Structure 1
Amino acid sequence: MTIDMSMWTGRIDSAEGDAARRWHQLIQPLAAGSTPGIAILGFACDEGVRRNQGRVGAAAGPLALRRALANLAHHPTLPLYDAGTVVCDDGDLDAAQQRLAASVAAIVQAGHLPLLLGGGHETAYGHWLGLATAQPAKRIGIVNFDAHFDLRTARQASSGTPFAQIAADCAARGQHFRYLCLGVAETANTRALFEAAANLGAEWRLDSDMTPWQLADTRHQLAGFIDSVDAVYLTIDLDVLPASVMPAVSAPAGYGVDISVIEALVAKVASSGKLIGADLVEFNPTFDIDSHGAKAAARLAWSIARKLRR
């Protein structure tokens, strides 16, 4: 896979020395033998969004998010790498997810943490397959910040089916499906989806129960979930944020969860010592307004890297 580093550009404050560097000055292309660090991998795909009747354009997300990350101030993190982008441009979502899984597995087996930039939430199935391949003995719990359960039953895979697919794979492997969805909007999920979540033993918290003054309760629920698994896969569907903050998604939220709450909870996952993979999905730059959405998404990705403890 060719790794294009041309988008990693930005301001240089040379008069202030190394302590004034930004991400674009430190990130390197991932290579064999690289010191374990954080490997940014793109998934340029919105075939799942199209199948789910959403607003297409998320395939352009990885490039836009890299550009938003490039100029952010660098504070101590693990080494940063760009691992390239897996592309789905022929409509064959299954094949693209398998390629994504292979790339994720290779990243994890080399000692890195994959930080994926989607793409629609179909990213999640390929990401999980890669993690499960690389860590087959671990009980992997999924923490999904999302307005939607994404547990749909459908004739073909889409951005609305990844966690139903993962649940089916867990059953086939004789593994327990461990899934916590934070930020669920009752207005965006039918009773059938709530019943499906309950039948699968999933846990969730409504967006209306995730206000800043309820943060302590949400932290407690999240901590209990993290304690119950060996490893955590973190996935952030950016439509969990209010539309005023994140207009650039397939399905903007009329309510949403405050970004300060999301960031605090993301930091808890990243600092738990159990995080083995993370992604941000559904960013669609076609609908961004003055880069508001890109900046919010980049802030969350930056927070994961900043707080990561391994």
Structure 2
Amino acid sequence: MEGLKLYNFKTVEKLIAPRDGETKFGEKIEFINKLEELKEHPAKFVIFGIPEDIGIRANHGKPGASKAWEACLNSLLNIQHNEFTNPESLILLGHIDCTAEMKKAGNIDEEDPNYLPKLGDLTAIIDQKVSALVQSIVSAGKIPLIIGGGHNNAYANINGSSRAFGKALNVLNIDAHTDLRKLEHRHSGNGFSFARKEDLLGRYTIFGLAQNYTPQYIFNEIKPSENTEYRLFEELMDLSSEELHSAFLDSLEFVRDEEFGLELDCDVIKNFPASAQTPSGFSMEQVRHFISLAARLPECSYLHVCEAAPTTASAGQVGKALSFFITDFMKAAHGR
């Protein structure tokens, strides 16, 4: 498929640090030679990365999310292969080749009056690549595990999944933001707006929405909508563990009548190295619990983790966090 950099074991072998008496996850992970092999492969999950941050920059954000996939791979491939991790059920597909778009984005003068729309045009090109790949994976009966990149890629995940299922897709978004901003150029803040405009998005719920960073016009649009709901982080932060668990189950009930996508924006996690890092948010343990709850449901059709923005100093910790999210999802979804 055009736009996909397909991996084999030799692609990642140098990233694996073998150790006597142990077997690393990357030594047992699965690969394919071409997309046509997906449907007949016994593995349940397919992982790929989107190394870009153009959509974030097009939304006035800070770059850095393009490094998340590399950090993820360095960690994931080196966790242990044991009775809990099950790498044989995961195909490491590769990554979306964003090299040309990233280079073009870097060459656009920030003083150009059309700087943001030009970044939006590049984001739209990546949309097409991601949408086509997600559609192929879902159509093959697999569950995509998608590591961004910016939250602009939610539009492509919804687009590809919706086309594969032949109907609009429900979404549960664990996020401090709605990403329902205005329909201007494509960027990380309007992926759900575009999906809704094109009738690709069914029921949509945001869990952990930050009241301080949501424009009033978005609240005005959400409140009368029967297909959209939200839970403010400020309403959730003082709940007991049992009450928070129950609140998340309520959000799952809103979307689980049909297939739904699970979106996780790392901006919602307290002190996580993300494109819009926050001092107030969910803990890692809470987010891992949410992922496990969602993944147990047979209607959960993909996991997308986005907006992680590792620095050189934090890359190891970010990679470990993303690996936890992936293995938590797989473990919870494995037996369904």
- 2:63 aligned residue: 56
In the TM superposition, what are the counterparts of 1:173-212 in structure 2 within 5 Å? 177-201=202-226, 202-211=228-237
From 72, 80, 83, the equivalent of 1:73 is 80
The 1:178–1:27 alpha-carbon spacing in structure 2 relative to 1, beyond 3 Å, is same
Give yes or no for the alignment of 1:219 onto 2:248: yes
After the TM superposition, list the runs of 4 or more consecutive aligned residues in structure 1 that deviate by more than 4 angstroms.
none
Match of 1:108 among 138, 151, 167: 138
Do residues 3 (structure 1) and 33 (structure 2) align?
Answer: no
Match of 2:50 in 1: 43
Contact 1:237 1:281 survives alignment (8 Å): yes
> Secondary structure in 2 aligned to 1:44?
coil
The amino acid of 2:260's aligned partner reads V
User: What is the number of equivalent residue pairs in this alignment?
Assistant: 297
1:27 aligns with 2:29: yes
Residues 95-133 of structure 1: per-residue CA shift (max 9 Å, x gap): 211111111111112221110010000110111111011
Match of 2:95 in 1: 85
Matched, 1:242 2:270: yes
Letter in 1 for 2:266: L
Report the alpha carbon displacement of residue 220 of structure 1 after superposing the two structures with TM.
3.4
User: Closer, same or farther in 2 for the Cα pair 1:200/1:287, shift >3 Å?
Assistant: farther
What amino acid does structure 2 have at the position aligned with 1:166? A
Given the superposition, is the C-alpha separation of residues 3 and 290 from structure 1 closer, same or farther in structure 2, using an over 3 Å criterion? closer
Q: Check conservation: 2:67, 2:309, Cα contact below 8 A.
A: yes
1:290 shift after superposition: 6.0
Counterparts of residues 102-181 of structure 1 (less than 5 Å): 102-137=132-167, 140-170=169-199, 177-181=202-206
Aligned-residue Cα RMSD (Å) equals 2.2
Check 1:226–1:151 CA distance in 2 against 1; reply closer, same or farther (3 A cut): closer
Secondary structure of 1:286 counterpart: coil
Q: Does 1:95 align with 2:125?
A: yes
2:16–2:78: 8 Å Cα contact kept in structure 1? yes
Q: Secondary structure in 1 aligned to 2:27?
A: helix
In the other structure, the counterpart of 1:254 is: 279
Q: 1:73 is aligned with what amino acid? A: Q
Q: Which residue of 2 aligns with 1:305?
A: 330
Return the letter of the residue paired with 1:193.
I
The separation in 1 between residues aligned to 2:305 and 2:58, in whole angstroms, is: 20
The answer to which of 253-262 and 99-108 deviates more is 253-262
The answer to whether the 8 A contact 2:24-2:77 is kept is: yes
C-alpha displacement at 1:162, in angstroms? Answer: 0.6
Can you give the 5+ residue segments of structure 2 that lack an aligned partner in the other structure?
Answer: 102-118
Give the direction of change, closer, same or farther, for the CA distance of 1:187–1:101 in structure 2 (3 Å limit): same
SS of residue matched to 1:159? coil
For 1:144, give the aligned amino acid: N
Residue 232 to residue 177, structure 1, CA distance change in 2 (3 Å):
closer
In structure 1, how many angstroms separate the alpha carbons of the residues matched to 2:270 and 2:213? 14
Distance 1:14 1:34, change over 3 A: farther
Secondary structure of residue in 1 paired with 2:162: helix
Provide the C-alpha distance between the structure 2 equivalents of 1:57 and 1:109, rounded to a whole number of angstroms: 32
Measured against aligned partners, the alpha-carbon deviations of 1:67-122 in whole angstroms (never above 9, x if no partner) come to 12112233254611111111333252212111111111111122211100100001
- TM-score, with normalisation over the residues of structure 1? 0.88
Using the aligned pairs only, state the percent identity: 23
Counterpart amino acid of residue 5 in structure 2: T
Secondary structure of the residue aligned to 1:225 is helix
| Cα displacement (A) at 1:34 | 2.0
Whole-angstrom distance in 2 between the partners of 1:272 and 1:63:
29
Q: Separation in 1 of the partners of 2:312 and 2:233?
A: 23
Distance 2:202 2:198 in 1: 9
